[in-house]
Structure 1
Amino acid sequence: MSKKYFHNSVNTIDANTVNFSPDFKNLNVLSLFSGAGGMDLGFQGDFDFLGTHYEKNPFSLVFANDIFKQAADVYEDNFNHQVERRSVDELTFDEIDHQIEKNTNKPISEVPIDVILGGFPCQTFSYAGKRGGLSDPRGQLYRHMIRIIEHYNPKMFIAENVDGIRNSRKNDKGDKIERSALDIILDDFDKAGYNVQYNVLNSADYGVPQTRRRVIIMGIRKDLGDISDQFYPAVSFDETGLFTGKMWKTSKDGIDDIWDKVNSPTIANHTTRDISKAKFYPGKRTQGNNKIDANRPAPTIRAEHHGNIEAHYRSYDGFEPDDMQGWRRLSVRECARLQSFPDSFIFTTSASSAYKAIGNAVPPVMAWNIARSVAYTLSQLEN
């Protein structure tokens, strides 16, 4: 399980207590596999979620990339720059440079890349998928992230993937291998000139009303520091509240206030058109054929649910809780809430594409915590 790179005693910092001096310069971020921008929104900061303001972070987004057209459309409608829509394995450095210059209105020589982000495709490693691992061509795309890292030589990179990557054991020939996909990937990042480590973060531990475990790989350029110089965000919520003083946020915390506001003109992505009409099947144990629990964080919002998104914990008036005739599936906005997207973030696409974009995203609130720890790490290196 990648013992070389995994440390139970990783350095942590409380993201909510991090402050930066006025002369700390904004760090330029190049984002790959950006999707609708969950990770990027967290790095940007300056948004509100469930009554908390997540202040602006010292990062400037200078490049984004994704081949999912509808997600790229959503990104462009919520951020102030264009998305390069070619697959990362087709991207040339000239194309990236050109897009950076368009987004910043500066020559590329004046835009050093400080941080590279990349949630390379996870379906091939997911427990919910076919587990093709490195034998799936999508499992090889991380190598193009490395290609881009080697060219731009950032101070740090952050890569995100599903927890299943730790147990995926197929190589690019489809053969079973002794080392996990994660071991191989970490070794390749190390060879690219970075001291790397990983940690498994659960979004519920950071105030997201959803349990979502993700491997977060952190790499720092070897001439700048070691893994002992890196910081992950400290846990700020826990299941019982005994450890942190704050219990996990529940589904009810996240979405209860908009249950009866479907078609309200003040709430985007919460109309009858934004709710999957897929049927429920009594007595069958099929994907999404169940309600979420009001008093627990929601289960992981999936990208490939094919319309079978879970049901709301409430039932329509006049129906017993177990009567599926009174159930409705979660709306796009409710899924976005459970992923910690602010209500000001609008999904300007069809419901089916919006569900997928949300399910593929990194929860912005968890990303905000990661961003603060990355900025803190780099600020300490400059002292």
Structure 2
Amino acid sequence: MKCGALFSGIGGFCLGFEQAGFSTAWAVEVNEHAATTYSQNLPHVRLLTKSVLDVSVSGDALEPVDVLHAGFPCQSFSQAGERRGFEDDRGKLFYEIIRLINEFGPNKPKVLVLENAPFLRYGEGGAWFLELQRAIRKAGYWFRPENSCELTANELTPLPQQRTRLFMVALSMDAFRSGRFEFPAEKDKNPKDMRKYIDFDGHAEDEYYLPTENRYFKMISSSVTDRECLYQLRKYEVRAKEPGVCPTLTANMGLGGHNVPFIMNSRGLRKLTEYECLSLQGFPEKFIFPDDVPRAKRYIQVGNAVTVPVAHLLAEKVRIRLAEEGL
């Protein structure tokens, strides 16, 4: 079974689906730094480094795929953002997904998998979600509110990251007799071992440590009560997570050192490294950042990524549903 990826980022969705036995035929990513990281780690995939606005099925000779997945831009749908929805240029990129589906004609993907911010379901009193539902149905897919679900990483997987995202699965009316779909629901009840992902005792390079003269150092360090916990600065307030829990890793980590979660060790107060963050997103150990990708861009890429084990669980459910229809 083959997948295509729009807004692929560094490949979280692609890796999750490949772990479930799917192959990735092609991917589209406009950001050059993210595309560089993607190509370094998924060299077997045909990657188009261009805006989805400039992609066409015929012009780019896109191979028909069974599944199309897309984590389309969430800034305009986020509760923490400007909440402009489909009025924002980034929000309008959703319609490019629909355009490309239509361009495939009778060869359109059997399954459409989308990812975005949970607030998309509630914005404008539910109008955003109704518009999304209308567009997907018009494209020839089964899609009801039951085809969307909020999935939380530390509830469903061994990962300690407390990250909740909205996933939506639409099934082609040409391929499926109904839109029935079962989302991952089995809870991971094992204790979360933060030390699998974070080196609490080791010493990272100097640039990861907050200088003692930094204005945030005293604020954060004075709040540290447990060296097995993570601490985060949010709007001049220090938030401590309970042991075994990592806060949501966001793209804002690339905007400044104080946006990255901190730990305190014998050497001082340091932010998590980009590789620790990558691990907390479930990327495999062999996944690497190219040397020419700046550290700030690496943090942004991690924060924008789809959590790999969550994508894997969802992909397994998609595979089962396809098999039920004999596809």
| TM-score relative to the length of structure 1 | 0.72
Query: In the aligned structure 2, how far is the partner of 1:61 from the partner of 1:304?
Result: 29
Instruction: Tell me which residue corresponds to 1:139.
Output: 91
In structure 2, relative to structure 1, the CA distance for the partners of 1:226 and 1:165 (3 Å cut) is farther
Q: 1:159 aligns with which of 111, 114, 119?
A: 114
**Alpha carbons 1:31, 1:63 under 8 Å: kept:** yes
Verify: 1:191 aligned to 2:138, yes or no.
yes
Q: Give 1:28 deviation, angstroms.
A: 1.0
Query: In the aligned structure 1, how far is the partner of 2:309 from the partner of 2:71?
Result: 16
**Alpha carbons 2:76, 2:85 under 8 Å: kept:** yes
SS for the counterpart of 1:328 is strand
SS for the counterpart of 1:297 is coil
Residue ranges of structure 2 left out of the alignment (5+ in a row): 221-232
Identity of aligned residues (%): 28
Query: In the aligned structure 1, how far is the partner of 2:237 from the partner of 2:283?
Result: 25
Verify: 1:234 aligned to 2:185, yes or no.
yes
Q: Give 1:262 deviation, angstroms.
A: 4.5
RMSD (Å), alpha carbons: 2.5
1:339 maps to amino acid: Q
**Alpha carbons 1:29, 1:63 under 8 Å: kept:** yes
In structure 2, relative to structure 1, the CA distance for the partners of 1:157 and 1:272 (3 Å cut) is farther
2:135 maps to amino acid: D
In structure 2, relative to structure 1, the CA distance for the partners of 1:228 and 1:30 (3 Å cut) is closer
**Alpha carbons 2:33, 2:297 under 8 Å: kept:** yes
Query: In the aligned structure 2, how far is the partner of 1:84 from the partner of 1:168?
Result: 32
Q: 2:13 aligns with which of 21, 39, 48?
A: 39
Query: In the aligned structure 2, how far is the partner of 1:35 from the partner of 1:117?
Result: 12
**Alpha carbons 2:210, 2:217 under 8 Å: kept:** no
In structure 2, relative to structure 1, the CA distance for the partners of 1:292 and 1:78 (3 Å cut) is farther
Instruction: Tell me which residue corresponds to 2:260.
Output: 310
SS for the counterpart of 1:121 is coil
Q: 2:171 aligns with which of 212, 220, 230?
A: 220
In structure 2, relative to structure 1, the CA distance for the partners of 1:301 and 1:275 (3 Å cut) is farther
Instruction: Tell me which residue corresponds to 1:345.
Output: 287
Q: How many residues align?
A: 301
Q: Give 1:149 deviation, angstroms.
A: 1.5
**Alpha carbons 1:276, 1:330 under 8 Å: kept:** no
Verify: 1:331 aligned to 2:280, yes or no.
no
Q: Give 1:228 deviation, angstroms.
A: 5.0
In structure 2, relative to structure 1, the CA distance for the partners of 1:287 and 1:74 (3 Å cut) is farther
1:312 maps to amino acid: F
Instruction: Tell me which residue corresponds to 1:127.
Output: 79
Instruction: Tell me which residue corresponds to 2:27.
Output: 64
**Alpha carbons 1:115, 1:157 under 8 Å: kept:** yes
2:58 maps to amino acid: D
**Alpha carbons 2:208, 2:270 under 8 Å: kept:** no
In structure 2, relative to structure 1, the CA distance for the partners of 1:362 and 1:292 (3 Å cut) is farther
Residue ranges of structure 1 left out of the alignment (5+ in a row): 1-26, 46-56, 101-110, 170-177, 264-270, 319-325
**Alpha carbons 2:31, 2:49 under 8 Å: kept:** yes
**Alpha carbons 1:276, 1:309 under 8 Å: kept:** no
Q: Give 1:89 deviation, angstroms.
A: 1.5
